[in-house]
Amino acid sequence: MPRSIRVTIFCEHNQDRREPVKSVYPDGIHGALAAAFPEDESFAVTIATQDMPEHGLTEEVLSNTDTLVWWSHLDNPIFDDAVAKRVCRHVVGRGMGFLVLHSSTFSKPWQWIMGIAYDAGLWGRFRTMPKGEKERLWLVNPGHPIADGIGPYVEIPRDEMYGEPMLIPEPDQTIFLGWWEGGEANRAGCVFFRGRGKIFMFTPGHEAFPIFYQPEIQKILRNAARYLAPSETINPGVFSGQYLDNTPLEDLSHRK
Q: How far apart are alpha carbons 193 and 152 in whole angstroms? A: 25
Residue with Cβ nearer Zn ion (3 or 17): 17
Separation of alpha carbons 89 and 77, rounded Å: 19
Told to check if 160 binds Zn ion by CB under 5 A, we report: yes
Q: Hey, what amino acid is at 209?
A: F
Cβ-based nearer residue to Zn ion, 49 or 103: 103
In this structure, which amino acid lies at residue 122?
L
User: Judged by CB, which is closer to Zn ion: 197, or 204?
Assistant: 204
Collapsing DSSP to helix, strand or coil, 215 comes out as: helix
| 206 lies in the site for Zn ion, by CB under 5 A | yes
- C-alpha distances in Å from residue 18, one per residue of 12, 29, 35, 50, 53: 13, 12, 21, 16, 22
For Zn ion, the closer of residues 66 and 160 by Cβ is 160
Tell me how far, at minimum, the Cβ of 242 lies from Zn ion, in Å: 40
Residue 12 interacts with Zn ion (CB under 5 A): yes or no: no
The CB-of-163 to Zn ion minimum distance in angstroms stands at 13
Q: Is 133 among the residues that bind Zn ion (CB under 5 A)?
A: no
Q: How many Å apart are CA 157 and CA 161, to the nearest integer?
A: 12
Least Cα distance to 35 among 2, 11, 64, 53 occurs for 11
Nearest approach, Cβ of residue 160 and Zn ion (Å): 4
State how far the Cα of 134 lies from the Cα of 190, in Å rounded to an integer.
20
Per-residue string for binding with Zn ion, 34-73, x by CB under 5 A?
A: ----------------------------------------
Q: How many CB atoms lie within 10 A of CB 126?
A: 15
Interface of this chain with Zn ion, residues 86 to 125, rule: CB under 5 A: 103
CB of 132 to Zn ion, least distance (A): 10
What would the DSSP string read from start to end of 192-204?
Answer: EEETTEEEEEE--
- Count of residues touching Zn ion (by CB under 5 A): 3
Applying CB under 5 A, does 76 fall inside the site for Zn ion? no
- Shortest Å distance, C-beta 157 to Zn ion: 15
Residues in touch with Zn ion (CB under 5 A): 103, 160, 206
